[in-house]
């Protein structure tokens, strides 16, 4: 079953149109990676799907329901959570408080969920009363993922989860993403580390100039000749 | 030819460079040590002024905490905060006495006011006022909170929806400040007023090395300020709303992405900031007097306290307000001459200039404040 679908989406910042009709779909329990050169519109696509940017034309569906133009709050309530590329934690709040803010719209007792989420990230668990601003880059990224899990999402939108991380942290973050996916959460991520992220993805999309360029399974994209030349550095 | 201005500018630039290169902890510790030394010196030589400074500082803190919350959460300097403080004092006065100015010389009095309740003006213990003023203060806090929520709806929210920059917000608040002051002048006239007239006796307290005189009212002011500050602390660190306020201060976009209704947080910020500043206004009017022009003057120590503590930091605002309050009061009592020119004491009317001097030095040397993180 399709969890999320963007159909012929046109969007951008103000007057500037960046996406000229992009379509993607994410099936249940899938990991989908979106790659493409700078300015291709990858992040714009995630922001438009999540309602952070207005969708000028086209449609967004979540679980078959038309959610085009819904606010981020509504999307989060429905089960779509988004992790921005940078500034994705509250630096002056403790780890614990960051997670409480992740659960802000939950009406039930979310304390067990905090324990459950922290158990996934032992590094961060140890520092639960530390201010997030004092965490390392990798720990911050873990906390950002943990925060997004507080609402039991059906799908996570990740904007460059491995950006500006040390190589060993990149592997760790990807391992965690795989763990999260195995627990039944669909994932769509935008990545610069094309090779590594396609390796663990079920499918991938290549965007260029605000349009769909290629599409296929992770493996087929890795072996694609055009891909190799243009985006994987030979 | 020597150019003293250029020389001074170079000196300031060098000092600025030196201070900004120091680690946060070093400079904060140095400032605290310097401040502690000054306090010890001032306490031993001018204990009376220091105590009054602590009381004034605790009142200023109530205003500065609101100012810093508004700045941190909504990202603009609210120039109306000083006048709102004075308006709070007048609203309490109005409910207590029912008095408004009929014309330049005479007051009109409403048929009913809180003061007409039986025993409402009867002094409580050694205080000069009765329970009427306490009720009046609570009512004023509610009225000011509601007023600010309404102004948020009418003025600031439309500006936000239009995507206005911080300058537009600051100028809008300046406009509201002028309107507020004009309103006070129209309704209550330009002459200073007091809640309770007459001469109030002060008690002597023996501190061992010196004696100080304090009015029961002043102890009351300090106690109220301390309790309210503690409540703000509990709100910010123990409640969901307070944590959401801190989250919005940190990162409004991420707060929105997390499903936090930022407009609701803004509304509550006005409620809290308004209630605090209204109470601060009443306490200050109790310490000094009601004067429609005082609000704008108060803006200086409020901003100085906020900047000193680091904009957006409530703990900083508290510390900053104490430093500003004490320095301001002590400046009128200490003799200091440099090269034969008398620098201190200041004439009491100029004591607010101390706040300006502190603010200028802080902006030059450490614009992020004592507690603020480096940008």
- Tokens for B56, please give them: 């004034």
- CA-nearest residue to A84 within chain B is B254
Percentage of chain A lying above the pLDDT 90 cut: 70
Q: Do B261 and A73 touch (CB under 8 A)?
A: yes
- Tokens for B61, please give them: 């803190």
Q: Which of these CATH numbers, 3.40.50.1110, 3.30.70.940, 3.40.50.300, 2.120.10.80, describes A2-230?
A: 3.40.50.300
Tell me which chain A residues have a C-beta less than 8 angstroms from the C-beta of B240: 100, 104
ipTM of the assembly? 0.89
Contact status of B6 with chain A (Cβ, < 8 Å): no
Chain A nearest-CA distance from B157, in A, is 18
Taking one residue from A and the other from B, the number of pairs with CB-CB distance under 8 angstroms is 60
Chain B nearest-CA distance from A151, in A, is 9
Give the pLDDT score at B93: 96
Q: Find the mean pLDDT for residues A8-19.
A: 92
Q: Do A93 and B250 touch (CB under 8 A)?
A: yes
Question: Could you count the other beta carbons within 10 Å of the beta carbon of residue A178?
Answer: 13
Q: Do A101 and B260 touch (CB under 8 A)?
A: yes
Mutate to test the interface with B, among A92, A102, A103, A157 (most CBs of B within 10 A): A92
Q: Do A84 and B254 touch (CB under 8 A)?
A: yes
**The pLDDT of residue A233 is above 70:** no
Chain A nearest-CA distance from B260, in A, is 6
Burial class, B267, CB count within 10 angstroms (exposed 0-12 / middle 13-18 / buried 19+):
middle
User: Are B286 and A140 a contacting pair, CB within 8 Å?
Assistant: no
Q: Do B254 and A50 touch (CB under 8 A)?
A: no
Interface of B with A in 263-282 (CB under 8 A): none
Tell me which chain B residues have a C-beta less than 8 angstroms from the C-beta of A47: none
Burial class, B365, CB count within 10 angstroms (exposed 0-12 / middle 13-18 / buried 19+):
middle
Tell me what the pLDDT averaged over chain A comes to: 91
Mutate to test the interface with A, among B73, B238, B254 (most CBs of A within 10 A): B254
Determine the Cα–Cα distance for residues A116 and B174; give it in Å rounded to an integer. 49
User: Are A121 and A172 a contacting pair, CB within 8 Å?
Assistant: no
- CA-nearest residue to B371 within chain A is A92
Topology (CATH level 3) of domain B24-365? ABC transporter involved in vitamin B12 uptake, BtuC (1.10.3470)
Which residue spans within chain B are E strands per DSSP?
99-101, 107-109, 203-206, 211-214, 336-338, 341-344
Contact status of A151 with chain B (Cβ, < 8 Å): yes
pLDDT bin (cut points 50, 70, 90) of residue A234 is very low
Tell me which chain A residues have a C-beta less than 8 angstroms from the C-beta of B251: 87, 89-91
Q: Do B259 and A77 touch (CB under 8 A)?
A: yes
Determine the Cα–Cα distance for residues B168 and B156; give it in Å rounded to an integer. 10
Contact status of A147 with chain B (Cβ, < 8 Å): yes
Contact status of B243 with chain A (Cβ, < 8 Å): yes
Contact status of B249 with chain A (Cβ, < 8 Å): yes
Tokens 């449609």 sit on residue: A59
Contact status of B338 with chain A (Cβ, < 8 Å): no
Q: Do A52 and B257 touch (CB under 8 A)?
A: yes
Tell me what the pLDDT averaged over chain B comes to: 89
Tell me which chain B residues have a C-beta less than 8 angstroms from the C-beta of A90: 246-247, 250-251, 254-255
- Tokens for B325, please give them: 């309050």
Give the pLDDT score at A131: 94
Q: Do A101 and B244 touch (CB under 8 A)?
A: yes
Chain B nearest-CA distance from A90, in A, is 6
Question: Could you count the other beta carbons within 10 Å of the beta carbon of residue A169?
Answer: 17
Give the pLDDT score at B354: 84
Q: Find the mean pLDDT for residues A95-104.
A: 95
Tell me which chain B residues have a C-beta less than 8 angstroms from the C-beta of A157: none
Beginning with the edge strand found earlier in the chain, give each strand of the sheet holding A31-35 in spatial order: A80-83, A155-159, A186-190, A31-35, A203-208, A211-217
Tokens 């429905």 sit on residue: A78
Residue with more model confidence, B12 or A21: A21
| Per-domain boundaries in chain B | 24-365
Contact status of B4 with chain A (Cβ, < 8 Å): no
Under 8 Å CB-to-CB from B88, ≥6 apart: which residues?
A: B140, B141, B144, B274, B277, B278, B279, B280, B281, B282
**The pLDDT of residue A146 is above 50:** yes
Q: Do A84 and B240 touch (CB under 8 A)?
A: no
Q: Do A101 and B255 touch (CB under 8 A)?
A: yes
Q: Which segments of chain B have a pLDDT < 50?
A: 374-375
Contact status of A72 with chain B (Cβ, < 8 Å): yes
pLDDT digits (tens, 9 = 90+) for A78-97: 999 999 998 999 999 999 99
- Identify any residues that bridge with A204 across adjacent strands, giving them in sequence order: A33, A216
| Per-domain boundaries in chain A | 2-230
**The pLDDT of residue A147 is above 80:** yes
Q: Do A100 and B249 touch (CB under 8 A)?
A: no
Q: Hey, is A217 helix, strand or coil?
A: strand
């Amino acid at each position: 079953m399709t969890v999320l679908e963007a159909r012929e989406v046109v969007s951008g910042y103000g007057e500037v149109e960046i996406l000229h009709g992009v379509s993607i779909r994410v099936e249940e329990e899938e990991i989908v990676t979106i790659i493409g050169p700078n300015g291709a519109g990858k992040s714009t696509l995630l922001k438009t799907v999540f309602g952070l940017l207005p969708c000028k034309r086209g449609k967004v569906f979540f679980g078959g329901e038309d959610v085009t133009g819904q606010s981020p709050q509504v999307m989060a309530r429905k089960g779509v959570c988004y992790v921005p590329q940078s500034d994705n934690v509250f630096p002056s709040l403790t780890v614990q408080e960051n997670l409480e803010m992740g659960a802000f719209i939950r009406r039930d007792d979310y304390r067990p969920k905090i324990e459950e989420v922290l158990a996934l990230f032992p590094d961060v668990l140890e520092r639960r009363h530390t201010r997030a601003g004092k965490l390392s880059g990798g720990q911050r990224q873990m906390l950002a993922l943990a925060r997004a899990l507080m609402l039991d999402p059906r799908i996570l939108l990740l904007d460059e989860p491995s950006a500006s991380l040390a190589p060993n942290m990149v592997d760790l973050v990807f391992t965690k993403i795989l763990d999260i996916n195995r627990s039944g959460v669909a994932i769509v991520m935008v990545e610069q580390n094309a090779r590594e992220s396609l390796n663990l993805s079920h499918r991938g999309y290549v965007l260029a100039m605000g349009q769909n360029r290629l599409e296929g399974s992770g493996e087929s994209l890795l072996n694609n000749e055009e891909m190799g030349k243009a985006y994987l550095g030979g | 030819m020597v150019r003293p201005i250029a020389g001074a500018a170079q000196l300031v630039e060098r000092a600025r460079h030196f201070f900004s290169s120091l680690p946060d902890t070093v400079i904060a510790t140095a400032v605290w040590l310097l401040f502690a030394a000054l306090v010890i010196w001032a306490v031993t030589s001018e204990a009376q002024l220091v105590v009054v400074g602590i009381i004034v500082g605790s009142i200023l803190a109530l205003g500065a905490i609101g100012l810093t919350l508004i700045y941190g959460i909504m990202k603009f300097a609210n120039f109306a905060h000083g006048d709102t403080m004075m308006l709070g004092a007048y609203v309490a006065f109005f409910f207590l006495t029912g008095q408004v100015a009929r014309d330049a010389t005479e007051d009109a009095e409403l048929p009913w006011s809180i003061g007409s309740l039986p025993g409402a003006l009867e002094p409580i213990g050694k205080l000069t006022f009765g329970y009427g003023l306490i009720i009046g203060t609570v009512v004023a806090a509610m009225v000011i909170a509601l007023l600010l929520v309404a102004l948020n709806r009418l003025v600031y929210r439309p500006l936000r929806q239009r995507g206005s920059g911080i300058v537009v917000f600051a100028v809008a608040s300046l406009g509201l400040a002028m309107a507020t002051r004009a309103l006070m002048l129209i309704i209550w006239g330009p002459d200073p007023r007091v809640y309770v007239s007459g001469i109030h006796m002060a008690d002597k307290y023996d501190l061992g090395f010196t004696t100080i005189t304090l009015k029961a009212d002043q102890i009351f002011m300090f106690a109220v300020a301390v309790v309210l500050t503690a409540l703000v602390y509990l709100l910010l660190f123990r409640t969901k709303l307070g944590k959401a306020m801190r989250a919005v201060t940190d990162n409004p976009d991420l707060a929105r992405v997390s499903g936090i209704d930022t407009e609701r947080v803004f509304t509550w910020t006005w409620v809290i900031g308004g209630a605090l500043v209204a109470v601060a206004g009443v306490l200050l009017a109790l310490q000094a007097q009601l004067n429609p022009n005082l609000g704008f003057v108060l803006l200086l120590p409020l901003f100085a306290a906020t900047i000193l503590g680091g904009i957006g930091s409530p703990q900083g605002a508290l510390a900053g307000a104490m430093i500003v309050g004490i320095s301001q009061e002590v400046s009128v009592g200490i003799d200091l001459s440099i090269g034969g020119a008398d620098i201190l004491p200041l004439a009491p009317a100029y004591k607010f200039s101390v706040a300006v001097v502190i603010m200028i030095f802080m902006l030059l040397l450490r614009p992020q404040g004592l507690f603020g993180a480096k940008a």
